[in-house]
Amino acid sequence: MAELRIAIVASRFNPEITERLIAGAQEALRGQAVTLIHVPGAFEIPLAAKQAAKSGRFDAIVAIGCVIRGETAHFEYISQAASNGIAQVGLETGIPVTFGVLTADTDEQAMARSVSGPDNKGYHAAEAAVEMVRVLRGLR
């Protein structure tokens, strides 16, 4: 398969985690043409992902972010908006948009899911993006 054009849309919030997720995604995407797009937080990922998908410049989008539960309901609102929005982008555009947004109860859980190597959730989301491009091309 020819080189794929992949956008990583990544939240700048919780950078100690998201930078590790981005690194994992980039590792999984070695050999592909990768464009990194930063947004303020997880809530903003769906809009940027939709614009990237509609641009026609990308074969797939990898959404990267981290939302850690706090003492208020904010976690639920942001997590739900991000996950629903990311899913909707793929359904509306037909471009694979994979979910690499951690929704963790603690910093420790987030750190464990952003370790280097193939256990990194950014790595998993990037692998899923490549696989989905292949699946969809096979269905055409």
125 contacts: CB under 8 Å, gap ≥ 6: 21, 25, 62, 63, 64, 98, 99, 100
CA 85, CA 23: separation in Å to the nearest integer?
A: 23
CA neighbours closer than 13 Å in the CB half-sphere of residue 46 = 16
Has 74 been annotated as catalytic?
yes
CA 115, CA 134: separation in Å to the nearest integer?
A: 27
E-strand ranges in 78-129 read 97-104
- Nearest partner of 110 among 69, 59, 55, 56, judged by Cα: 69
Q: Which of 54, 57, 74, 137 is catalytic?
A: 74
Phi, psi of 104 (to 5 degrees): -115, 150
**Which residues are tagged catalytic?**
74
